[in-house]
Structure 1
Amino acid sequence: MNHCCEEMNRHISEGEVAICYIPRLREYGILILDGGSAKQSIKYCPWCGKELPNSLSEQWFDELEKIGIEPGDSRIPKEFLSDEWWTLKKE
């Protein structure tokens, strides 16, 4: 995937900086280095300053609720485990 700039592409692909991208939520963040999976969401690229796309986290939870499935349920449809659920809607 291409992100907002080459620096963001490089840092996300190399994983050496605490910046993360979660495709299924279209969400960017800075990892909190406490041994857990917490992160601080970011709205602008730290390198080029461009505004990043809005997170789809709320919509992801809403879509799961519509089909009667809780987050963490083993029955979550495959497309909801990646960006497929929102990229296919755009087409």
Structure 2
Amino acid sequence: MEKLTYRSDAFRREHCVKNGIDPAEHCCLDMAWFISKPIEWDSQGANPVVMWISSWDEYRIEISHAGNAATRIYFCPWCGARLPQSKHSDWHERLNALGFNDPGEQDIPMEFTTDKWWRHGA
């Protein structure tokens, strides 16, 4: 039987920051903790509990499926807060305006691979 490892809030905040996640920019410390890719259970391996696609400000949970699949979530599983509206369409529109018609196959500006473009108005 696996034992859930509990860690202090200070430890979790430090882990988040060390992994490039600012807890203040997310709805709660639990969400920040889980998107910072901690290993909570031995059987979890490298599988994230929740994924955050920073360039789209979109949260997803992996689903069991042949291959790589995930479903978008709209509310935080821990605090219940409504999560931000996805910036996926805005991302495509901005890149299209810059002349990128297939951003998945093109070398796009670095700021569009993270949350920099929408946080800092790139």
TM-score (norm 2): 0.65
Identity, in percent, stands at 39
- Structure in which a larger fraction of residues adopt strand: 1
Following superposition, the deviation at residue 88 of structure 1 comes to 1.0
Tell me which moved more, 81-90 or 8-17: 8-17
Q: Which residue of 1 aligns with 2:45?
A: none
Gaps of 5+ in 1: none
Question: Where do 1:60-79 residues align within 5 Å?
Answer: 60-69=91-100, 70-79=102-111
Figure out how many residues of one structure are paired with residues of the other and give that number.
90
Provide closer, same or farther for how the CA distance between residues 15 and 76 of structure 1 changes in structure 2, counting only shifts above 3 A.
Answer: farther
Instruction: Tell me: higher relative CO, structure 1 or 2? Use CA pairs within 8 A at least 6 residues apart.
Output: 1
Structure 1 consecutive aligned stretches of length 4 or more whose deviation exceeds 6 Å: none
Q: What is the root-mean-square deviation in Å for CA atoms of aligned residues?
A: 2.0
Determine helix, strand or coil for the equivalent of 1:86.
Answer: helix
Gaps of 5+ in 2: 1-21, 41-47
Question: Which structure has the larger Rg over C-alpha atoms?
Answer: 2
